[in-house]
Chain A
Amino acid sequence: MSKKIKYIALFCLVSSAFLYAAIAANSFANESSRYIEVCANGIVYVPPNTKFVKCYGVIRKVIRFSDVLTESMEDCKCPKCCYGECYVPVISEMGEIRIMWMSC
């Protein structure tokens, strides 16, 4: 294989990876505008399979849902961050209040 063909092959490989990434980024950017704002609008309903939400307009990854809040964790309500996590109370599918932990 000549040097020129190798360079063209490499260019195609790099370009296709960037094209794939750009398409994925575009779809995520469009998707992000539909994320539920969980911090600024009081206690809101969040479906159980939610993976990303927004807290004061910033995208956050949902880590887990829990029913109880231990005393030591009470200070970790968003926007205060404890070890990379913070919580907000949300309304679950059954209409109950649950604790949703997200990255911060």
Chain B
Amino acid sequence: MDVMLIIKANEMKEKFLFFFNHKLVQFSARLILGGVFIYASIDKIAYPKEFAAIVVKYQILPEKLAIYFAFLLPWVELFLGIFVILGFLVRESAISLSFLVLVFMIAILIRSLAGPIGNCGCFSITPSGTSQSIAFLIFRDVLFLLCGLILALSNKAKKLHESFLSQIY
């Protein structure tokens, strides 16, 4: 019984690692994560003052620090997004983007404690007219985080995959 369970667990692990390292999965994750961050940076670079006003509104960072953060963040998003898509420093960029997504999730949760979020400043800086649901924002960020983790852990997963195969054969 125990042996059967171990074999099944190993089979599942192998399938999971195979999925993780599949070229199509890696490519899709790169395209989604890179594309999303490049798209997100465009409006913020075009209207940095408006974006700074949104970041200040979160009231998490002191005003001056929030302004510097708001002006620098879109460029970081743009470069990391380009790196991920072009395949340059993919793992490092994916780790940085995953960290950014985590920061955004925490910021949204903190902001939501103070009341409904008008415009989260995630993509567009113009007022959305409707308040975005926290659950939707978090769910969306979890998907981006998943893409980031697929890329960030891919090398590790590849090594795991190889060591796993060497143990079997």
| Inter-subunit contact A103/B118 (CB<8 Å) | yes
Which of B80-134 touch A at CB < 8 Å?
115-116, 118-119, 127-131
Q: Which residues of A sit under 8 angstroms from B27, Cβ to Cβ?
A: none
Q: How far is the CA of A85 from the CA of B126 in the complex (A)?
A: 11
Q: How far is the CA of A57 from the CA of B59 in the complex (A)?
A: 11
B54 interface residue (CB < 8 Å to A): yes
| Count of interface residues, chain A, beta-carbon cutoff 8 Å | 25
Q: Given contacts A14-B79, A81-B115, A103-B53, are A59 and B131 in contact (CB under 8 A)?
A: no
In the complex, residue of chain A having the shortest beta-carbon distance to the beta carbon of B64: A29
| Inter-subunit contact A60/B48 (CB<8 Å) | no
Q: Which residues of B sit under 8 angstroms from A61, Cβ to Cβ?
A: 49-50, 53
**Which residue of B67, B116, B131 contacts A29 across the interface (Cβ within 8 Å)?**
B67
Q: Given contacts A84-B131, A103-B119, A103-B127, are A52 and B72 in contact (CB under 8 A)?
A: no
For A29, A84, A85, the residue with the greatest tally of chain B CB atoms inside 10 Å of its CB is A84
B75 interface residue (CB < 8 Å to A): yes
Least CB distance from B85 to A in Å reads 15
**Which residue of B50, B57, B74, B129 contacts A104 across the interface (Cβ within 8 Å)?**
B57
Q: What 0/1 readout, one digit per residue, does chain A (39-66) give for beta carbons within 8 Å of chain B?
A: 0000000000001100001111101000
Q: Which residues of B sit under 8 angstroms from A14, Cβ to Cβ?
A: 75, 79
| Inter-subunit contact B56/A59 (CB<8 Å) | yes
**Which residue of A17, A25, A26, A83 contacts B70 across the interface (Cβ within 8 Å)?**
A25
Least CB distance from B84 to A in Å reads 15
Q: How far is the CA of A89 from the CA of B17 in the complex (A)?
A: 61
B29 interface residue (CB < 8 Å to A): no
Q: Given contacts A63-B127, A84-B118, are A29 and B68 in contact (CB under 8 A)?
A: yes
Q: What 0/1 readout, one digit per residue, does chain A (17-38) give for beta carbons within 8 Å of chain B?
A: 1100110111011001000000
> What would be 18 A-B contacts, judged by CB atoms less than 8 Å apart?
A17-B75, A17-B78, A21-B74, A28-B48, A28-B49, A29-B68, A52-B49, A58-B59, A59-B53, A59-B57, A60-B57, A83-B129, A84-B118, A84-B128, A85-B118, A103-B118, A103-B127, A104-B57
Q: Which 9 A-B pairs have the closest CB atoms?
A: A84-B118, A25-B71, A84-B127, A21-B71, A25-B68, A61-B53, A29-B67, A59-B56, A17-B75
Given A28-B71, A29-B67, A103-B118, 17 additional A-B pairs, CB 8 A:
A14-B79, A17-B78, A18-B75, A24-B48, A25-B52, A28-B49, A29-B64, A29-B68, A57-B63, A59-B53, A59-B56, A61-B53, A83-B127, A84-B119, A84-B127, A84-B131, A85-B118
